Amino acid sequence: ESDKEKISIGFSQSVDDDIWRTSMNHAMEVETSLHPEASLTIYNANRQPKKQIRDIEKFIENKVDIIIVSPFESDSIVPVIEKAKSKGIPVIVVDRKVNTSNYTAYLGADNIEVGRIAGKHIVSLSKGHANVIQIYGDLTTSPGLERSLGFKQVVKQYPGIKVFDLDSDDFGHPKPNYVKLLDSLPNIDYVYAFNDLIAYNAWKIAKGKGLENKIKFIGVDGLNGPFGGIQFVKDKILEATVLYPTGGSESIRLALRIANQEIVPKNNKLNTILIDSLNADIMSNQFDKITIQQSDIEQQQKIINDQEKKYSTRSNLLKLLIAL
């Protein structure tokens, strides 16, 4: 099939300098390769809201059949999403929410639930008495805000739990004040960080001060593989992580259903779950199986592509011979 006849999916990724985002992109590529009728183009906005708007503009100009957006900011992106919709291009929003309801579908896990799961885990381990540092990622984003809301809803019911807030740089590296705070509060029992990377960075700081066994670290994301949260739990760096699936393959499947004129739910919820030492092995085994299947599929796809190439050169050669 030539690319013209294919269902063209444009995916606007907000950043791709962390493994959560790169595994989301990868899952999308693998899922697309399973559907020969579909093609996928990914643009990365590199944390620049203006670039993300331009990327989506480009998808509109190129008349893609459907747009998937993982927004960096929830406000500045609204007009271009509405523009795509007004031109008849369906838009799927993944992960971070946008401040309009003028899109086709949203897909992601419930971040309030993520926060509640982390809160309940700390309550149950500490029996309601603990000093906790909450290191949040950007509170202007819906995951940032909701991970904090859900957590506070739970822990505020326990007066014995004291929460100290710390900021991290857009879900990335800890700000300098964070190191100071770990110093000034030696009686910290738990750190709840808004993703596994922040939790790991906090653990490294604590380790430098010989406090890594005194404090229990809880993160969010629960990716499988090296530097993923599941491995951190297995290595006893993190006490637990809360699974926050990327939605990569699910969003491609949803895009294809929409492109095929199916009616889909507006809100598509992905599941979340606590991963600690009790289930980390089971979880990573399950994810490993999926990865093996995926690489088998990629392998097969490569063989098919090579065959197709060989076949088309052979048939071109034949045509040439006949013409002669």
Binding residues for ligand FRU, per CB under 6 A? 15, 18, 20-21, 95-96, 137, 141, 143, 171, 195, 220-221, 244
Nearer to ligand FRU, 15 or 67 (CB): 15
Cβ atoms of residues 140 and 75 within 8 Å: no
Q: Between residues 136 and 171, which has the closer beta carbon with respect to ligand FRU?
A: 171
Whose Cβ is closer to ligand FRU: residue 171's or residue 190's?
171
At its nearest, how many Å lie between ligand FRU and the CB of residue 4? 34
Least Å distance, CB 148 to ligand FRU, is: 13
Q: Exposure pattern of 120-152 as b/e (b: 16+ CB <10 Å)?
A: ebbbebbeeebbbbbbbbbbebbbbbbbbebbb
Minimum CB distance to ligand FRU, residue 100 (Å): 18
Q: CA 259, 263, 269, 270 torsion: positive or negative? A: negative
Element housing 218 (H / E): strand 216-221
C-alpha distances in Å from residue 122, one per residue of 13, 18, 174: 33, 27, 22
Shortest distance, position 19 Cβ to ligand FRU, whole Å: 8
Q: How far is the CB of 246 from ligand FRU (least distance, A)?
A: 8
Least Å distance between CB 96 and ligand FRU?
5
Nearer to ligand FRU, 18 or 276 (CB): 18
Give Cα 88 to chain centroid, integer Å. 27
Rounded CA separation 74/141 (Å): 7
Q: Say how many C-beta atoms besides its own lie within 10 A of residue 194's C-beta.
A: 30
274-276/240-243 β-pairing: antiparallel
- Closest to 168 in 3D by CA, of 190, 200, 146: 200
Q: Which is nearer to ligand FRU, 173 or 289 (CB)?
A: 173
Residue 93 dihedral angles phi and psi, to the nearest 5°? -105, 130
* Residue 65 or 196 having the CB closest to ligand FRU: 196
Instruction: Kindly tell me which of 158 and 200 has the beta carbon lying closer to ligand FRU.
Output: 200
198 to 96, 134, 228: CA distances (angstroms) = 18, 11, 12
The CB-of-251 to ligand FRU minimum distance in angstroms stands at 14
The number of CA neighbours under 13 Å toward the Cβ of 111 is: 23
